[in-house]
Structure 1
């Protein structure tokens, strides 16, 4: 089968296959896909870091939460006392008692606030890192949404293009003799990188090896004109 037209069709078929491969490959390796993968890793790392930081600051969060809860309760008590003190019907003894209670509650308030300030100061660096990681996590979340949408748009377009190329390939290969179809598939299965290419001077267009005149004559005299070095077809 030395008909140049049929053998050159192998080049065209390979080009369609290469386009299909690049489309499918781009679904897992495009710039946006790689960026999405990096963001997912960053999201996972930040989430893990934040979880670890929160665990190491367990004492800080416990004291702060308890103290803030107590401060709210004390505030309500002070407000209640102030209402009572505003009454015109209080006798001097009640007024003194309520005033003392209010003063005692204020002292408690100051102690609780001071304790919060002290523990925040003791854990300043850790808290600062935690807050920055939380901010970074929120930014990564926003980027994930944006990039994920871009990737989806890319994939939608690719999913539209693939059937078109597959249909083009199916129609094109239907014109091939069965023997040539089997031959092409066998070369693909063997892992031949360039199945068919035009000869460049005395060079094999598939592997680039410089061929002697006798080697070229021998190759061109064979049924599928295969290079003896790479098995690619010389056209």
Structure 2
């Protein structure tokens, strides 16, 4: 079941990227951002599911320190990058709905490329910092984690050293990487809603809602799950 879902997700995202690349009409900032989101999603699925499936099928339940570090790095790079990319996509929708005549200026290709590269960079910086720090601690004799992939908070609990400072920093980083983009998204969609309510044309309202509804659904699913898991107090995390 997991492999079927992962394969469907992988094929869907790859087809989305190929479609946007092949169709010249889709060579716009909005669809470029969408192709980057599909790329991150495809890579995110490939980071954990193949290893998990292989362990399940072969009975092996081990991973090397290098493999563990790579999982932490890619998970945080892609997960954090998606947070900021979704914020960039909400800004794109805000400009398209609220300032359509100024769209080529306010959402130019250089700005689009800077926002995309910034999303990748911020995610990678967080991933590299947490992966290197988590693996630098000395570990006790027991090296078993109750998880199906390497995750920094779970790995740090095995350390034979005081990790309280790193855990606090890690918690603050998670909160900031979720709250800052989500605040930008809420601001963008608040302005979009205000603009839509002032539209006199029913057709224009329908078009605006149709343009934004799919993005809002992705934001709700992504941020809802992430906030539920990573923004709870440490005492509630099993």
TM-score normalized with structure 1 length: 0.27
TM-score normalised to the size of structure 2? 0.27
